[in-house]
Each structure stands twice: as C-alpha cells, then as structure tokens.
C-alpha cells in the first residue's frame, strides 16, 4: 500500500497545499470494507484512474466518478467503495484557492462532489488518462504540477486576507474572535466572505480542523486514551470530543474508530 503527501512546485504554494497519492492493491479476494471518508478542512480535485463508488448518507443514489471530482468543504462522512486495485491522486487546495481558480462561491460545493468535467472541461479526461499511464508516482506529480500551472495562467484572483486567515485557522490554536480580528472586517463581513471562500462558517471550519486533527492523531497513536486525546487536541473534555464525533460521523469516538477500513485490512491506519 502506498499513501503519501507531496509538496507542489514552488510557484503553486499559494494555492496548493499538497498532492496526495493513494495506490494499493489487495492480494486477497475477501470483501473490502467501504472507506468512511471523514470531514477534513480542505477542498480538492481528485482524479480516479481506477474505478470507485461514493455514497452520501442523505442520497439514495451513488456516484461513480468518470474521471475526476471536485470536492467542496465537507461536514459529513461519505462512504467510498474501492476494488481490488485502487489508484487516485488528490490535488488538495489551500483555503480559498478553489474559489480563486473557479470563481464559484465555495458554499455551492459544500457537502457535495461534482463531475470535474462540468466545470473544467474535457481536458480532465486527458489528464486522468495521463495519470493512468504514468510509470511512476513522480511522473504523476509532474502531470499535476503542469496542469495546475496551466490553469492558473492569467488568473486575477490572488489569495486574499480571508484566505490567509483561514489557513492560520488550520492550527485552531486561537479563539474565533482572534481570527476575525485578523481579518480586519466586521463579524458580518468576515462571515460572508468566509462562506464565499471556504463554504462553511468560520466556527464550523475550526470545528472541522480540530476534529480532523484528533481523528488522525488517534490513528497515529491508537493506544492513546480518548480523554488524553481530547485534552491534547484542545477539547474541554471527552464529552466535548464525543459531541463533535457524533456531529460529524453519527458515531461515538470508540464506535467510529472500531469500524473496519481498507487501510486496516492492509495493516495500517489512515494518517494523511
């Protein structure tokens, strides 16, 4: 199994947080559990050179990506079915970057994923084919770099004050009032512009950032107690952590952690 994050070309650092490559193959023929994909503080463009299926709890149908999907900010879990061999590349954008790139208010993409071709055109199919035929992961990264550099040519929207504040909020080490003050806007203006750039309220974004950190920290250190994890992640106590888990996943922390996953069947945990 290969799961890794990579930095983009230096020219892309104002817009792209990282590239994430997921590449694995199961050696057995046993049923593969679906992947419970948790809310995380990010927007991304994800290419699917191999097939998958995505289901949302509020939808009766499911999504089978043709080539790539654009994912807005999520506050809900979506379930992803993978097959015996799975390959994918995610372009994870910094807060506000997708809004700068597309000009579409981020709130229109919240808790949803859409066919990337509908927004970015037929070139998406060509890029996905290039990724499928790439011989190495480094070649996949070069393809992604070239594509995003080309998309940013002539772009007039640069990261603004709200985007920079949202990036600082990923550390969730200050109260909300601190971040609003650093935006140099009234509370109402800050909230409105934040919704356009990020897709959810500043308060909800801080909650997602902290939850995501706690989720990954538990995977890195599974022996850590839930109480200590809660305190280490800035929660008041275990009940505070448990409330966020139930809000974002519908499960208690221990019940959600006990769910099987493709990574666990391959002898690891998701830490990216």
Contact by Cβ (8 Å): 197, 169: no
Write down all domains in the chain, each with its CATH number in brackets: 2-152 (2.60.120.10), 161-202 (no CATH), 208-265 (1.10.10.60)
* pLDDT, position 190: 95
For the chain, 272 residues long, give each residue's pLDDT as a single digit of tens.
788 999 999 999 999 999 999 998 888 777 888 999 999 999 999 999 999 999 998 888 899 999 999 999 999 999 999 888 999 999 999 999 999 888 899 999 999 999 999 999 999 999 999 999 999 999 999 999 999 999 988 776 677 889 999 999 999 999 999 999 999 999 999 999 999 999 999 999 999 999 999 999 999 999 999 999 999 999 999 999 999 999 999 999 999 999 988 887 776 777 76
The tokens describing 47, both together, are 């290419």
Cα(5)–Cα(248) distance, rounded to whole angstroms? 24
* pLDDT, position 157: 67
């Amino acid at each position: 199994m290969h799961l890794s994050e990579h930095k983009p070309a230096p020219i892309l650092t104002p817009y792209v947080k990282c590239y994430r490559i997921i590449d694995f193959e199961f050696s057995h023929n046993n049923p593969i559990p679906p992947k419970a994909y948790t809310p995380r503080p990010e927007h991304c463009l994800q290419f699917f050179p191999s097939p998958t299926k995505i289901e949302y709890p509020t939808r009766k149908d499911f999504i089978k990506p043709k080539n790539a999907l654009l994912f807005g900010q999520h506050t809900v879990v979506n379930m992803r079915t993978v097959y015996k061999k799975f390959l994918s590349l995610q372009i994870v954008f910094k807060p506000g970057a997708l809004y700068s790139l597309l000009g579409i208010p981020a709130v229109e993409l919240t808790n949803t994923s859409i066919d990337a071709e509908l927004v970015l055109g037929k070139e998406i199919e060509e890029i996905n084919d290039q990724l499928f035929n790439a011989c190495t992961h480094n070649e996949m990264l070069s393809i992604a770099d070239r594509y995003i550099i080309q998309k940013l040519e002539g772009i007039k929207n640069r990261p603004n004050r709200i985007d920079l504040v949202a990036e600082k909020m990923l550390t969730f080490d200050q109260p909300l009032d601190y971040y609003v003050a650093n935006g140099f806007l009234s509370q109402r203006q800050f909230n409105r512009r934040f919704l356009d750039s990020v897709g959810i309220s500043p308060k909800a974004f801080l909650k997602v950032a902290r939850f995501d950190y706690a989720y990954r920290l538990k995977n890195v250190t599974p022996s850590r107690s839930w109480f200590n994890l809660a305190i280490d992640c800035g929660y008041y106590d275990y009940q505070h952590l448990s409330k966020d888990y139930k809000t974002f996943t519908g499960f208690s922390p221990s019940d959600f952690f006990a769910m099987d996953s493709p990574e666990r069947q391959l002898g690891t945990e998701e830490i990216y």
